[in-house]
Structure 1
Amino acid sequence: MTDREIHLPVAAQPSIDDIVAITQRAEENDYVRAWMPETWGRDAVTTLTMLAERTDEIELGTSIANVFSRSPALLGQTAATLQEASDGRFRLGMGPSGPAVIEGWHGESFERPLRRTREYIDIVRRVVEGDGLEYDGDIYTLSGFRLRFDPPETPPPIDVAGMGPKSVELAGRFADGWHATTFTPDGLRERLEDLHRGAELGDRSPDDIRVTLSLPCCVLENGERARELAAQHLAFYVGGMGTYYRESLSRQGYEDEANEIAASWASGDREAAVNVLDDGLLDELAIAGDPAHAREQLAEFADIDGLDAIAMAPPRGASGDDIAATVDAMAPDN
């Protein structure tokens, strides 16, 4: 059975209390995990610490902590501390993010993202397992330290986010899980082949690699409004967040649509960008509509062999009431 999880809203909520309330609602509805994104809003570490304190059972994770704004040793310390704070409920999702965030927000050069991610996996693992940090890599040479507190009894698993073939292969070869986003069912199946190739290169079983798909999700009695919000969300990511989402959509057979969304967004015609996401394409990339339609869409994704969890991601423009309705409608018991 495919687990249902919540990908907390990437758009700023009025307060941390609102983020806590969404997570508590998901916990009450038996969602398995809450993922906290980190872009240029509230930082994930502080927010997850609050969530760990104010929830009891729901598992928690970063989706994603980028590998440029924190050193790998600091990210390891953070993961070990969050595992302690959450009583063993933490899962570290990390990845390179993209130039729009790394260069535009953090002012760092987006160089060698795959190699950097590979070295982060190695270093973070050594830190959270309490090993002495002796590391000689292409990017990092580190020596002389280990944690000054007992490492977690169960080290937090490490998921890697990725869209392209090589980044997904890297996840299959070295990580404990792959965190996927903005995929059609067929596009996800194709990338799962890359994951399995990476697992084979790493002499590992694909069954040991947890696959989580983050899907834009808005489920309301007013299905038309739900679909409008999901389409606006996707148009922003494909059109306004650099090239990664556009390139991923192009690889999945929608190159013309991806380029049209990007061109319309760049010219300031947001309405035209949203309109490219017709009913067929929207159903390929999101769960959106009234509850009956949403359950049909969910079943299509849940049937994908090798997919372990679906993380419902409320759209950027969703109100608090919209998010609450979506969490309730997509609860595992519904």
Structure 2
Amino acid sequence: MTDRDVFLPVGAQPTLDDLVDQAVTAEELGYDRAWFPESWGRDVVTPIATAAERTDEIGLGTSIANVYSRSPALLGQTAATLQEASDGRFRLGVGPSGPIVVENWHGMEFGNPLRRTRETIEIVKEVLAGDPVSYDGEYFSLDGFRLRCDAPDPTPPVDAAGLGPKAVELAGRFADGWHAVNYTREGVAERLADLRRGAELGDRDPDDSRVTLSVSCCALEDGERARELVAQHIAFYLGGMGTFYRDNLARQGREELAHEIYDAWQRGDREHATELVQSELRDQMGAAGTPEEAREQLERFEDIDGVDAIYISFPRGADPEEIRETMVAMAP
């Protein structure tokens, strides 16, 4: 059975307390895991640590912590600490993000994101094992680092986010799971072959690699409002968040549409970009409408062979009450 997780918008909530309350609500509603992002605004560690204190059963995780703003050793320490704080409920999700975030916000050179992600995952896993870390890579060379506290038991899994074939292959080869973001239903099915190939290259069982698919959801009594919010959200990512999501959609057989949405957004015609998503793409990438309609659409994503968990994400334009209404409507 496919798990149903929830993706909590860290930066969009009025207060930290409001955000953590959403994690508490998610647990009460029966969600399997609450994922916390980190982009700008609040960091990801503090909300998870606070949520770990206020919840008892729901899984907690980062989706994603980027591999440029913290060193691999610090990410390992953080994962060990959050695993302890949550009594074994933590899962670390990492990824390279993109040049806009890494270079403009963190002042780091983007470089080779695949290599940096691989080295980060390898070092984090060595740190979490509790043994002295000896590592000589292209980006990182460590000698003698070791957790002063006991190694976490159980060891928290390490997932990787990835868009292109090589990034997904890397997740299968080195990580414990893959986070799929901004995919159509057909597109994610194609990338699963890359994940399996990566697992085989790493002499690992492909069935052990956990696939978590993000689906933008909005379920409101005002179904038209819900559909508009999801279409706007998808258009924003394809048109306004650099070229990675645009190119990822193009690889999924929607090249002309991807560029048309991107170009419309870039020239300031956001209404047209949203209309294109609404008519051509929304049902392939999201679940929106009345509660009954949105739940029915979500089940199509859950039926994808090879997907282990769906995490429900909320459109960026939704207010706290609309987020709550959707969370209740889409609960397991």
TM-score range, shorter chain: over 0.9
Helix, strand or coil at the partner of 1:108: coil
Structure 1: how far apart are the matches of 2:165 and 2:42?
A: 30
Matching residue's letter, 1:250: A
Matched position secondary structure for 1:254 = helix
- 1:276 alignment partner, SS class: helix
Structure-1 residue corresponding to 2:32: 32
- In structure 2, what is the Cα distance between the partners aligned to 1:247 and 1:289? 27
Residue correspondence of structure 1 range 290-305 to structure 2 within 5 A: 290-305=290-305
Q: Do the aligned residues in 2 keep the contact of 1:9 with 1:315 (CA within 8 Å)? A: no
Calculate the aligned-residue CA RMSD, in Å.
1.0
CA-CA distance at 1:203 after TM superposition: 1.4
Indicate the residue corresponding to 1:226 in structure 2.
226
Question: Is 1:127 the counterpart of 2:127 in the alignment?
Answer: yes
Which residue identity lines up with residue 320 of structure 2 in the other structure? G
| Residues 143-164 of structure 1: per-residue CA shift (max 9 Å, x gap) | 1220111111111100000010
Partner of 1:208: 208
Equivalence for 2:57: 57
| TM superposition score normalised by structure 2 | 0.98
Measured against aligned partners, the alpha-carbon deviations of 1:35-65 in whole angstroms (never above 9, x if no partner) come to 0000012100111111111111111000000
The letter of the residue matching 1:249 is L
* 1:69 alignment partner AA: S
**Runs ≥4 in structure 1, deviation > 6 angstroms?**
none
Q: How far did 1:9 drift?
A: 1.7
Shift of 1:10: 5.2
Q: Any idea what the Cα deviations from partners look like across 1:224-264, whole Å, max 9, x if unmatched?
A: 00011111111111111111100111111111221112112
- For residues 283-311 of structure 1, the C-alpha deviation after alignment (integer angstroms, 9 at most, x for no partner) is 00011111221122112111111100000
How many angstroms apart in 2 are the aligned matches of 1:317 and 1:238?
A: 15
Task: Tell me the CA shift for residue 269 of structure 1.
Answer: 1.7
Greater Cα shift, 79-88 or 286-295: 286-295
Q: CA deviation at 1:278?
A: 2.6
CA shift for structure 1 position 280: 4.2
Structure 1 gaps, min length 5: none
1:57-96 deviations in whole A, cap 9, x for unaligned? 1110000000001000011011101111111110000010
Residue 14 of structure 1 is matched in structure 2 by 14
Structure 2 distance, partners of 1:37, 1:53, is: 19
Shift of 1:279: 3.6
Deviation (angstroms), 1:11: 4.4
Amino acid at match of 1:228: E
Residue type of the alignment partner of 1:233: H
- Give me the whole-angstrom Cα distance separating, in 2, the residues matched to 1:144 and 1:213: 37
Q: Specify the alignment match of 1:137 in structure 2.
A: 137
Matched with 2:43 is 43
Distance in 2, matches of 1:242 and 1:107, equals 17
Structure 2 residue 285 is matched with structure 1 residue 285: yes
Aligned to 1:98: 98
Secondary structure of residue in 1 paired with 2:306: coil
Give me the whole-angstrom Cα distance separating, in 1, the residues matched to 2:118 and 2:212.
19
Provide the C-alpha distance between the structure 1 equivalents of 2:41 and 2:13, rounded to a whole number of angstroms: 9
Q: Does 1:69 align with 2:69?
A: yes
Do 2:11 and 2:40's aligned partners in 1 also have CA atoms closer than 8 Å? no
Match of 1:264 in 2: 264
Q: Output the amino acid matched with 2:20.
A: V
> Aligned partners of 1:10 and 1:255: how far apart in 2?
32
Structure 1: distance between partners of 2:57 and 2:174: 28
**In the TM superposition, what are the counterparts of 1:321-332 in structure 2 within 5 Å?**
321-332=321-332
The answer to whether 1:236 aligns with 2:236 is: yes
Partner in structure 1 of residue 197 of structure 2: 197
Question: Any conservation in 1 of the 2:227–2:278 contact (CA below 8 Å)?
Answer: no
Say yes or no: does 1:3 pair with 2:3. Answer: yes
Contact 1:10 1:316 in 2 (8 A): no
Is 1:183 the equivalent of 2:183? yes
Letter in 2 for 1:94: V
- Cα shift readout 1:121-147 (whole Å, capped 9, x = no counterpart): 110001111110111112111112201
Once residues 296 and 111 of structure 2 are traced to their aligned partners in structure 1, the CA distance between those partners, rounded to angstroms, is: 41
Conservation of the 8 A alpha-carbon contact between 2:10 and 2:44: no
Counterpart in 1 of 2:89? 89
Equivalent residue, structure 1, for 2:163: 163
SS at match of 1:226: helix
Identity %: 64
The corresponding residue for 1:118 is 118
Mapped to 2, the partners of 1:137 and 1:96 lie a distance apart of 17
Q: Which amino acid aligns with 1:2?
A: T
What 5-or-longer segments of structure 2 have no aligned partner?
A: none
What is the count of residue pairs matched by the alignment?
A: 332
